[in-house]
Structure 1
Amino acid sequence: MKRVRITLRPRGAYAPPIYEGLAGGTDYLERARIVNWNVSNPPTGFLFRLEGDYRRFERELADSPMVADFEVLPITDRACYCFLEGAVSSAARSLFENFTRGSLLTVPPIESNDDGTTTDTIVGTVRDIQAAVDGVPDGVDVTVEQVGGKQVAADSVVGRLSDRQRDAVEAALELGYYDVPRTATTADVARELGCATATAAEHLQKAESTVFVSLLGE
């Protein structure tokens, strides 16, 4: 079995208006992910996780003739889950179905990017993955971002840290950098890692940012 990270850029019938709104088409959504979906039979169902002014997106859903039903489940005033049921074009449906054949599994979430693309992880046999990439329609650009890797999905906050960030945090904890009162400095962490003090500080700052955004954002 292989793991492949791919980015798709659908156009025309492959990119319905709702998709365009999720993937960079609005200035009020800061982040949009497709958490789960069901395109096996009409109507199509999607579960989104949205960050930003999702109430504006809710109003767009209410006015869309393609949406049969939806429900917004607030998490905070800037984050929510959104269930949507509605109709999609046969082209858009075929794009999803292309990655469900044979052994293929798509690992949620599908990340909607600001440039109109989506990025996700596909797991399956080499043959089925290659067939899916080759089977992407002409109206959709596909880029293979990564092949293989140790991790299928970030199943924990720690799993979202790079190896070097995790090493820095582990060293900081062991040395007492996070003790109260603090008994170690970034220079101590740098010596433990064998790097410059500024580099150790950067690793720690990025790790802390990732942890806090993950916990408070979700």
Structure 2
Amino acid sequence: MKRVRITLRPRGDYAPPIYELLAGGASYLERARIVNWNVSNPPTAFLFRLEGAYERFERVLDESGMVSDSELLPITDRECYCFFEGEVSPAARSLFETFTSGSLMTVPPIECNEDGSTTYTIIGTEAEVQAAVDGVPDAVGVTVEAVGGKRVAPDSVVGRLSPRQRDAVETALELGYFDVPRNATSEDVADELGCATATAAEHLQKAESTVMWSLFES
């Protein structure tokens, strides 16, 4: 068995509008993860775990032309499960099917990153994993984040951070942003990353939230 953690960057028909909202397009959602799905037959069904002001997403589901049924299941006032089903494009469906052929399995959750990408782990034979990665369409960028490891799930809380969040945290550590007293600002981090100050601050805030929640999620 081979374990590979990958990041995909779907665009166009591979990324329906509702997905774009879940992957960084809705500022009121702090984190979105796909915890289960069924693409075997239309309509396609997804179960998400959302963090943030998720009540605002209910209106999006109600007004979406692709969603035929949906329900929010609150966990706390800032976290919920979100079920919805509906029609997706053949391109989007084929992207999921690429990683379910043969003995391949996708290990949930799938992290929806704020830059529009998704990060998750697949397991299977070396030949099937390689074929799946090679079979990703040209319109979808793919990056192999890690190969192997002792566990099937992400090995640490670092594995729960998006690639951009990890970059921001690593840069902040190098610059002294987390030192006491603080030796760098979010503006310094932004300059190093080549992004807006607000973007860098958002990456750091979301990373800090993920780390804090991981300490008490039990």
TM-score range, shorter chain: 0.7 to 0.9
Deviation at 1:160? 3.3
Does the alignment pair 1:2 with 2:11?
no
SS of the residue 1:132 aligns to: helix
Secondary structure of the residue aligned to 2:21 is helix
Structure 2 residues without counterparts, runs of 5 or longer: 159-178, 180-208
User: Match of 1:7, SS?
Assistant: strand
What are the within-5 Å matches in structure 2 for residues 29-40 of structure 1?
Answer: 29-40=29-40
What's the offset of the Cα at 1:19?
0.7
What corresponds to 2:156 in structure 1? 160
Q: For the aligned residues, what is the CA RMSD?
A: 2.0
Q: Contact 1:160–1:210 (CA<8 Å) still a contact in 2?
A: no
The separation in 2 between residues aligned to 1:107 and 1:25, in whole angstroms, is: 24
Which residue does 1:90 correspond to in 2?
90
CA distance, structure 2, for counterparts of residue 94 and residue 103 of structure 1: 17
- What's the CA shift string for 1:45-66, capped at 9, x where partnerless? 0000000011111110100010
* SS of the residue 2:137 aligns to: coil
SS at match of 1:23: helix
Give the match for residue 187 of structure 1: none
CA distance in 1, matches of 2:59, 2:69: 13
* Distance verdict in 2 for CA 1:105–1:22, change over 3 Å: same
Mapping of residues 91-110 of structure 1, within 5 Å = 91-110=91-110
Name the structure 2 match of 1:183. none
**Pairwise CA distance, 1:138:** 1.3
Residue 176 of structure 1 is matched in structure 2 by none
> Hey, what does 1:143 align to over in structure 2?
143
Structure 1 unmatched runs, 5+? 163-197, 199-208
Letter in 1 for 2:112: S
1:99–1:106 contact (8 Å) kept in structure 2: yes
* Distance (Å, rounded) in 2 between the aligned partners of 1:19 and 1:114: 11
What's the CA shift for 1:103?
1.2
Distance 1:114-1:127 versus aligned 2 partners, 3 A rule: same
For residues 1-218 of structure 1, the aligned pairs below 5 Å read 1-154=1-154, 160=156, 212-214=212-214, 216=216
Give the deviation of 1:210 after TM superposition: 6.9
Q: Distance in 2 between matches of 1:20 and 1:216?
A: 29
For residue 188 of structure 1, what is the aligned residue in structure 2?
Answer: none
1:183-207 CA-partner distances (Å, limit 9, x unpaired) = xxxxxxxxxxxxxxx9xxxxxxxxx
Larger Rg over CA atoms: 1
Alignment CA distance shift 1:10-1:51 (3 Å): same
TM-score scaled to structure 1, two decimals? 0.73
TM-score normalised by the chain length of structure 2? 0.73
Q: Are 2:157 and 2:214, in contact at CA under 8 Å, matched by a contact in 1?
A: no
Q: 1:7 and 1:85, CA in 2 relative to 1: closer, same or farther beyond 3 A?
A: same
Aligned residues: 170
3-state SS in 2 of match to 1:103: coil
Distance 2:132 2:52 in 1: 33
Separation of aligned partners in 2, 1:131 and 1:214 = 34
**CA 1:211/1:127 → structure 2, altered by over 3 Å: closer, same or farther?**
same
